[in-house]
Structure 1
């Protein structure tokens, strides 16, 4: 139990925070750029205020959805690593793990965002309505996966 708590605090929470904060910043930036595109004048304080308010506003909904999504993705990836005997410790495995967890994070964000439309009948994240916005959100997931891979080193823990 102590090992699970340590993993949750030191591996999962920081990677979730990176994924959520990047997704929030990408969303806010997309919305702000659209406002600038229609000639709304925004100063630096407006940008910073919106970034902060969006992060706080999205935390209870999007933050929780991201946490669940990443948890499922990382558990699945851990299972795949263990199942397909990727447990050998070598330099090549570190890069494979990085790629696997980054892909898991990015793909999980893609699936999460694609599932929101039919379930909620709305694209919850305005910043993901364009192809570029969707790619930015998936990049946030990939970054979360990469951070998790670097922090977790799971093949030594099983």
Structure 2
């Protein structure tokens, strides 16, 4: 039993890291793209190699701050979602079906990114992620959270199927 629990926790951590990485990488790329797109609107010429360089720099530069904030946000969102799933399905003989888990974790990822970004404004008195200042940018960030939730549900389901 302890061996199974250790394996489960190790796998859950691995799945979480992959989901976080997907969410962070996409959020960072969406942020950079939004900022560079706004610059091109005011006739700033940015070459393809510059785009790639700035995406790389933002990935590295945002990792210690935005990356950590995203990790905490997703950990809370996924924990709460799993708790709710366990509560809802505790009296049933079957566990939550994959489409339900996929929908709930995806929604949790998207909503948690939205809450995270909206909470930064009053706390820091600045929109930390410039790429989220427009509605399109905010929705792109939420899409990154949604995809992180999809990754978490999908990879978590693959583990459940094996045990």
Q: What interval of TM-score do these two structures reach, taking the shorter chain for normalisation?
A: over 0.9
Q: Does 1:95 align with 2:99?
A: yes
The equivalent of 2:50 in structure 1 is: 46
Alignment gaps of 5+ in structure 1: none
How far apart, CA to CA, are the structure 1 residues paired with 2:136 and 2:60? 23
Aligned residues, how many?
A: 155
Q: Which has the larger radius of gyration?
A: 2
Question: Which secondary structure does the structure 2 equivalent of 1:122 belong to?
Answer: coil
RMSD of aligned residue pairs (Cα, Å): 2.1
The equivalent of 1:4 in structure 2 is: 9
Contact in 2 for aligned 1:116/1:124 (Cα 8 Å):
yes
147, 152, 157: which one pairs with 2:156? 152
Of 146-155 and 135-144, deviating more is: 146-155
Question: Which secondary structure does the structure 1 equivalent of 2:46 belong to?
Answer: coil
Please list the CA deviations of residues 10-64 of structure 1 after superposition, one character each: whole Å capped at 9, or x if unmatched: x100000000000000000000101110101111110000000000000000000
Task: Give the structure-1-normalised TM-score.
Answer: 0.92
How far apart, CA to CA, are the structure 1 residues paired with 2:128 and 2:95? 41
Provide runs of 4+ in structure 1 moved above 6 Å: none
Q: Does 1:82 align with 2:86?
A: yes
How far apart, CA to CA, are the structure 2 residues paired with 1:89 and 1:115? 34
How far apart, CA to CA, are the structure 2 residues paired with 1:51 and 1:142? 21
How far apart, CA to CA, are the structure 1 residues paired with 2:110 and 2:84? 17
Task: Give the structure-2-normalised TM-score.
Answer: 0.89
The equivalent of 1:131 in structure 2 is: 135
Contact in 1 for aligned 2:20/2:70 (Cα 8 Å):
yes
